[in-house]
Chain A
Amino acid sequence: MKETREAIVEVSNLSKKYGLTVALDGVDIKFPQGELTALIGPNGSGKTTLLKILAGLTYPDQGRVKTIDRAPDRINKERFAFLPENDYLYSWMKLEYLIEFFARQYTSFDRSKAYQMTKDMNLKPEQKISDLSKGMRARFKLVLSLSRDVLLYILDEPLAGIDPQSRSYILENLNLEFARGESSVILSTHEVLESEKFFDYVIMLGDDRVQLEGYADDLRREHDLSLQELTREVFA
């Protein structure tokens, strides 16, 4: 077994209801520091709710949240990057406008890195958000998130609904960026296939709570299964 590192994010006894629907029910999780943690679960398992709470966009009914070392408040939002699942970019903006906008809003934003990554991802700064395809938009969302020099990246379904080409492109870029620094990544996904070799730590969320967690290679050895197969078994 690999020794457990310090936690970058810690939630305890977290509960959240939407009307009568329970999204999270007394969840305790420690996300290890310096690792790429995959939050795996089927749609509706509470992944998005959990990540929104970690990023300070939604508030729990009960429980405590510590993102890096404090509640995810306004000051803390400068210290982590959050990539939401949906199209959250103003559709009338050009890519260069968004890069400038982010550079003005976040002191941790690296403008030249953003332009470089935009180029690397085969996007043009003078394109408009509304003119991008779904895969291009997903790539640009990643550009904006990874261009911030922060300790923690929270990425909600960065691969969902994207063509396989863009997907492997995004994964390789994410890995490249991750290999560069001391930061931690939390990434949620409902499919594991191509991405599993990039994961360090895996948390499987289902039925409003944690079903299984551990280091990816430890889980593979214990169960003699790939994460893909293990996911299928856990959520069967």
Chain B
Amino acid sequence: MGIHYDTSRPIYEQIIEYVVKKLASGKLEAGDKLPSQRNLAQELNVNPNTVQRAYREMELQGLVETKRGLGTFVTESEARIREISQELSQNIITEFVEQMRFLGYEDCEISSRLEKTLNQDQ
């Protein structure tokens, strides 16, 4: 399991997104232990200091907690996880809408095309 990096964006942010996606999809749950920074660095093939920075940022956002001597754990607060996964989904929607508008689509057209795609998938 790896990340396809977009090197024009900070890599630690992409590591955070990787963890958040795992949370949103249920592969990681509240209270789970995250891999050690070194192991994750090896797994994702990035510099360990970058992983360290991602963990620190996630701690600041209240997404993870570091327990001294035990490691880093996903927060117990389900509310915080929901909040953050909603934030992520909101970001994706915002970006989608921005790009559609950039291509010249009207808002009603965007929603109708979106609906059409959703129906097709079913």
Contacts and interface: CB of A to CB of B under 8 A. Distances in A.
Does a CB–CB distance below 8 Å link A and B in the complex? yes
Contacts of A35: 49
Interface string A32-59: 0011100000000000000000000000
Contacts of A180: 38
B53 A217 contact: yes
Interface in A209-225: 216-218, 220-221, 224-225
Interface stretch (A87-95, A137-145, A194-202): A194-202
A2 interface: yes
A200 B11 contact: no
Contact of A176 (B6, B11, B42): B42
Interface string B44-77: 0111111001000000000000000000000000
Interface band, chain B: 10 to 19
Given A175-B42, A179-B42, A225 B50 contact: no
Given A175-B41, A175-B42, A179-B41, A225 B8 contact: yes
Given A227-B7, A229-B8, A197 B42 contact: no
Interface of A: 2, 34-36, 172, 175-176, 178-180, 196-200, 216-218, 220-221, 224-229
23 contacts: A34-B49, A175-B45, A175-B46, A175-B47, A178-B47, A196-B7, A197-B5, A197-B7, A198-B46, A198-B47, A216-B11, A216-B50, A217-B11, A217-B53, A218-B10, A220-B9, A220-B10, A221-B10, A224-B8, A226-B6, A226-B7, A226-B8, A227-B7
